[in-house]
Amino acid sequence: MPVHDWTSVVAGNFHDFHESWISELRKALNTKVLPKGYYAMTDQVADGYIPDALMLERRSDSGLESEPRGALAVAEAPPQVRFVTEFDAQRYAARADRIAIVHANGDRAVAFLEIVSPGNKQSEFAAEKFRRKILDVCGRGCHVVIADILPPGPHDPRGIHAFCWDGEDEPIEGVTAAEPFGLSAFRAEGHPQLYFERVGLGQPLPDMPLFLTEDHYVNVPLEATYNEAFSGMAEEWRTFLSRTIC
């Protein structure tokens, strides 16, 4: 199913959809995608739950394999994305200090998945708050996937991922008028890399790599889970949104 024009409906419709999308992603990751010892859950922060984010954690079990069984090795199967940006250590370290995260139960957060909402783009303050959150997560050693199916605005003219990662003298690949939606995956461990794909209205969503270790990743089933979430919407909204891609 191709990406729809979510700007054609009110924010409440998108909020309803992306909560369902996050739920479908969590279910798919936990039942079909993640290797033994890893799990996904709705992200919990000090002021409550964030409904548009998932945190992936690894159980603190000394018997776990260093190479997650079922995950893909970068050396053998590089992620299938068009744009890859290398980050030198100095440029990356300047963005955020690295802090280890260990939860009270001993499990460790290893990755973070976020679906961008209209609120993340509504003001310069909101966009900057989003950027700082992403950089903070990466600085804590978590790998990140960001799915942005909303067109760029005045505060992220080249897409939210470019807003987060552009260097002063080294601009990275951004979205375009023909492909205004951005999907990005950041590998935080080892030599940092940013994997990026852009998508146009009416185009299907490619799977994106979600890193579990420096050398191993799983593919996040964005298209399949998008379809499941969309199929649960009221028929009148599904019909209306389907007209936006005709």
Average pLDDT over residues 33-40: 88
Domain boundaries, the chain: 6-243
Query: Model-level pTM?
Result: 0.85
For 220-242, letters b (16+ CB in 10 Å) and e give: bbbebbbebbbeebeeeeeebbe
The model's pLDDT over 122-179, given as tens digits with 9 standing for 90+, comes to 999 999 999 988 888 888 888 999 999 999 999 999 999 999 887 656 678 899 999 9
Grouping H, G, I as helix, E, B as strand and the rest as coil, residue 3 is: coil
Q: Which helix (H) or strand (E) holds 115?
A: strand 108-115
The model's pLDDT over 170-209, given as tens digits with 9 standing for 90+, comes to 678 899 999 999 999 999 877 888 999 999 999 999 999 9
